[in-house]
Structure formats: structure tokens, C-alpha cells
Amino acid sequence: MKILFFGDVVGKLGRRALAEILPKYQKKYKPDLIMANGENLAHGVGVTADTLGEVLEAGIDLVTTGNHVFAKSGAEEIFTNFENKIIRPANYPEGLPGRGFATLKINDKRVCVINLNGRVFMRENFEDPFRTFDSVEKLLKIGKSDIVLVDFHAEATSEKSAFGWYVDGRASVVFGTHTHVPTNDIKILPQGTAIVSDVGMVGDRDGVIGVEKEGPLNLFLTQVPTRFEYAEEGTAQINAVIVKVDEKSGRATEIQRADTETKI
């Protein structure tokens, strides 16, 4: 089974770039499942029904998120109307809209997708993502032949790397997200779990992690809060990874980056 995963899709430029590149990637890689992190879909922060619908229409099968998923109003309606198309971190406190996992049937195989948020350098007070994984694993009664995909949304590469070792042999792939900066540490761990500390982003190449550069520069130079803006056209960097997973064992056999740029 081939899984194609795109890093954080940032704003309108990111959504447009994703729609443009997807047909080419589908032809080149022939993935069985296509996912993307969508917590920055709506003008860089949060998700709306329209922006979510746009990437689903483009060909994304499932959208994962992170700590910005509730930044826009209407989250409850989104999780209700797009059930099994979007998930949020499972280690949010109980009682919030949405689910932290999804189960899919692909090629007659059960695919379990789990979304988690890291805690290091995060302002929010999330539950322990390591033990949350254990709880979801028990809840879903995950077996050795199931394919288990984890979006671990976190600031610290060390936390994401440590989590990969924690679930080695229990997860098929750990996709690190959140920083918008692609890492070159893709590998397959001894028990068959593929990991990349951060997939990267789909967004403005010439900004600051997807934000138009003027806002962050002013913030760093003056320490005065500044409104961030997001480009709607320009050159987009597209960061993704493609992973092959053995359907009998649920273990990864190959992982590689799938990065490019496109002018929008």
C-alpha cells in the first residue's frame, strides 16, 4: 500500500498549489491513500467548511490537524458534516467536537489513522500523547497486521523522534507536522515504523514558514504584536512524503520525500 502525505497546507496559496500538484503526484506515485495536515487551511490558521471542502474536492482522502484546529468558529459543524474526512488530536481534553482517529478500509485492509499533539514548547495543556496512543490502540483493538498511521503534530523534533521509537513496531508510519520546515531524517526503525520528524508545508516559499515576511520581521524587530498575512499567489513549496507499507505485516518498507515547487 502506498500512502501520500502532504505537510501543513497554508492558506489559499497552499490550497491552490495542492490542487495543481495532486493530479501529477497521483499519476507519478499512484497512492492508495492521500492525506494532508489542514490546521492552517483557512487564511493560515484554522479550518472552515469551505476550505476543507476545497482540499477534499482536490483529492485528499483524509485531513489531519493540530493545535489550531479550533481557531475558526463552526468546528462542531465541520466535524459533524465531514465525519471520517477530518480528525483532530486525540489528546485534547474530553468533550470537544470531533474524533482523534479514523478507521478506513483500503485494499481490504484496516487502516487506522491517529492524530496527536506534542507538548514540548506548546502553549496548550494537552494530555500525554504517548499514553494517549496506548489508549487509542486498545480502544481500536489494533492488531499486528493493521496499518497504523500517526500524524504527530509538535514543535520539537526530539519529541517526535522519541515518539517514533516509542511506537516502533506498533505504528506503520509517524508523520511529524507543525513546524512547516521539512526535515531530512526520514528512516525506517528496526521494528518497521517509518518516521519523518517534519513533513514540511504546502505554502508560500518566499515567506516565513508560509506567512508573508513583513509581519514576522516586524514582530521580531519591535516585539509588538503584528497581524500576519498570507499570500494568495506566488511560488509555493510543496512538501510531502510517500511511504510503502507491506499489507501483510503492516510494516513500512520504503519512505521517501516528494518535494517540489510550483508557480501560482
State the catalytic residue, choosing from 68, 153, 178, 180: 68
Runs of H (alpha helix) within 211-252: 214-222
Is the Cβ–Cβ distance between 173 and 160 less than 8 Å? no
Query: 256: part of which helix (H) or strand (E)?
Result: strand 252-257
CA dist 219 and 229 (Å) reads: 13
Query: Taking Cα atoms as reference points, which of 171, 210, 160 lies closest to residue 7?
Result: 210
How are beta strands 252-257 and 240-245 bridged, if at all? Answer: antiparallel
State the Cα torsion 84-74-40-204 to the nearest 10°. Answer: 120
Q: What's the grid cell of residue 200?
A: 514540511
3-class DSSP assignment, residue 194 = strand
How distant, in Å, are the alpha carbons of 39, 73, 80, 89, 215 from that of 77?
16, 9, 5, 17, 32
Looking at the DSSP assignment, which residues form a beta bridge with residue 111? 104, 147
Active site residue 178: no
- Residues annotated as catalytic are 68
